[in-house]
Amino acid sequence: MNGYGGTILRVNLTNKTIKKQPTDPGLAQNYLGGRGFAAYTLYTEVPKRADPLGPENRLIVAPGPLSGLLVPGAGKITFAAKSPATGGYADSSMGGIFCGEFRYAGYDAIIFEGVSPKPVYLFIEDETVELRDASAYWGQGCITAERALKDELGEEFQIAVVGPAAENLVKYACISHDFGRQAGRAGVGTVMGSKKLKAIAVRGTKSIPIADVDQFREQARAMFQACQESKGLEVWQKYGTVGVTQWANEVGAFPTRNFQSGAFEESDNLIGPVFREQIVRTDKGCFSCPSPCGKYSYSSKHNIHVEGPEYETEAFLGGDVGIGDLEDVAYANYLCDEWGLDTISAGNVIAFAMECFEGGLITTDDTDGLELNFGNAQAMFTLIEKIAKREGIGHILAEGSKAAAERFGAESADFAMQIKGLEISGYESRHAPAMLLAYMTCDVGAHHNRAWAITYDIEAGRDKFTEDKAAKVIELQHIRPLFDCLGACRLQWVELGLDLGYYAPILKTITGVDRSWDDLLKISERIWNLTRCFWVREVEGFGREWDYPPARVWKEPVVGGPTAGKLVPKEKVDKLLDMYYEQRGWDKNGIPTEEKLAELGLSDLVEG
């Protein structure tokens, strides 16, 4: 089967069996790979209402048909599971160079099931696949363990690893690779930790079958050339995602003090040129990347090297916790990377705790003596470790802001900045309705990467609550996750403006299957509806209520900055959902209709 290795690995951690099964051509046809394989597998294999941290949950690792090939940005691989943070669908995409070795070993996916009685790691070298004892690595941080595994196995092995946060079942633990790349969101690392799977080490030496090599080379060369000629390259290569920090503050989108504001008065310390000139030591790209946005940095203040911080990390370990010292942000980034925490959720949860502390809902009696004021960097460093170890207040915060609000009580749920149990990522959206809708309807909880629609709000009018806003969110929710099916980074499109028209033709040269861009978008829509059906099945009473943002959005206007005074009234929130559901062909409660499922070929799969 061109474009695929042809084999899926099934690893049962309970009884230590490893099976190789042929990749189903129908699966490749209807779901492409990556996120598509993951969504299908989770829906068909995880028993209804299974414990996310139990043996019945699956952890799926899946590259796509572009992964590991010389296509711009084709260095992505998906990790997916039923989320312990939300109880619903979760996938998270990871860059780096892991996916190349994975593909060259000949595999299209790994499905992990069961729970190992003791710590293990999966060793893969082409046909050799073994579960090995990981007792020596258990308890080690992500960076430390990756270094140790490379020392044992050799530099040519690529490693995906979890840290103590995952071992301790912190609900927002990540999977780490290449000393600073992560599959970060929604607790995919937590599921890996729950299975006592410390790491996956892979090396491959095979090739990937390509239908038309000459045409492939020609197409790929044209794509690389377009990237090289992009005027955006200079910006993104120099500053990475931190290139947008200044803009985010200018437009009032930068999360500040637990989303009380959208502009941080100390943001000038965090912007691109300061970052580049003060701490960046070198650029760091993923596999086959023409525009390396990763930055490897050094903090002399804390004497640590770290990849980053990225924009999102500046938002949550900086502005949202009121910290404007770049080296403190970098150090907190390092701590999260080593302990194995998602920086978005970790910072968001700490910001929530800080607001609770400043509002008197919790005191030093609750915080183990920590003065949890905004801007207290030392308290943040301590709290990151406490969360990872589940010590003291860290045990409560390890459950995420939604669960913590249930403990802290009073009105704290109004400002626990999460949707569906996943902490909101880095865009304050009370003056960006399409972005707000994107967060509300994202299929892993409140994450920006499915529809980064704030740019559309700005172009089309930030006060408008019109049908085109919902249409744009839907359009983006089909385009952007499609990259996670293909196994390619979307940033060449987002940052460099690489034309989307390249992708269907190059996929055809690889697979030999003739599909238009619209055909691919239809696959993406099928997957979006399937993940929605997963939520409906797994979460009792799932529907519109689950798409609501925290009440801060309609109760409290933005404090200060260019969007001061803005909020989104509740009826406008409902209007956004009404438009969105109708355009999607879902009912008024946000459930896909039978007609829509039939249109997408999902009727037989989805139980009534």
Partner 1 sequence: MVEVKLTLVGMLKEYAAGEDTVTAQAGQVISEVLSELAIPPELVAVVMVNGRQESKSYRLREGDEVNLVPLVGGGAFYSKESSLWQLKPS
Residue ranges in contact with partner 1 by CB under 8 A: 231-232, 234-235, 238-239, 243-244, 246-247, 250-251, 271-273, 434, 452-461, 464, 466-468, 471-472, 475-476, 490, 493-501, 517
Q: Which of these, 599, 600, 503, 525, lies nearest to 220 by C-alpha position?
A: 503
From CA 338, how far away is CA 582, in angstroms rounded?
Answer: 44
> Cβ distance 288 to 227 under 8 Å?
no
E strand or H helix that includes residue 440 = helix 433-441
Is the CB of 189 or the CB of 252 nearer to partner 1?
Answer: 252
In angstroms, give the least distance from the CB of 205 to partner 1.
Answer: 35
Q: Give me the helix-helix angle, 517-538 and 503-511, nearest 10°.
A: 90
Nearest approach, Cβ of 214 to partner 1 (angstroms)? 25
Question: CA 222, 228, 231, 237: dihedral to nearest 10 degrees?
Answer: 140
**CA–CA dist 347, 288 (Å, integer):** 31
Token pair 């390396």 is at which residue?
292
CB of 508 to partner 1, least distance (A): 16
* Closest CB 431 distance from partner 1, rounded Å: 11
Rank residues 295 and 490 by Cβ distance to partner 1 and give the closer one: 490
d(CA 338, CA 388): 10
Select 179 or 502, whichever has its Cβ closest to partner 1. 502
State which residue, 81 or 451, has the beta carbon closest to partner 1: 451
d(CA 375, CA 325): 9
- In angstroms, what is the minimal distance from the CB of 447 to partner 1? 14
Please state, in angstroms and rounded to a whole number, the distance separating the CA atoms of residues 344 and 445: 13
- Nearest distance, CB of residue 244 and partner 1, angstroms: 6
Between 305 and 522, CB nearer to partner 1 = 522
Token representation of residue 317: 């370990």
- Look up residue 34 and give its DSSP letter: T
Minimum distance from residue 424 beta carbon to partner 1 (Å): 17
Nearest to 74 by CA among 280, 188, 216: 216
Residue 481 CA to residue 443 CA, distance in Å, equals 10
Closest to partner 1 by CB, 261 vs 563, is 563
* Minimum CB distance to partner 1 smaller for 298 or for 452: 452
* Smallest gap from residue 332 Cβ to partner 1 (A): 24
Q: Strand 418-419 and strand 422-423: pairing?
A: antiparallel
Which of 56/266 has CB closer to partner 1? 266
Least gap, CB of 330 to partner 1 (angstroms) = 19
Cα distances (Å, whole numbers) of residue 503 to 35, 175, 520: 17, 28, 9
Residue closer to partner 1 (CB basis): 434 or 436 = 434
The single residue listed with the structure tokens 């970052």 is 275
Minimum separation from the CB atom of position 73 to partner 1 (A): 13
What does the block give as tokens for 393? 């207040």
Burial 277-292 (b: 16+ CB within 10 A, else e): eebbeeebbbbbbbbe
The residue among 106 and 308 lying less far from partner 1, judged by its C-beta, is 308
Residue 202's SS3 state is strand
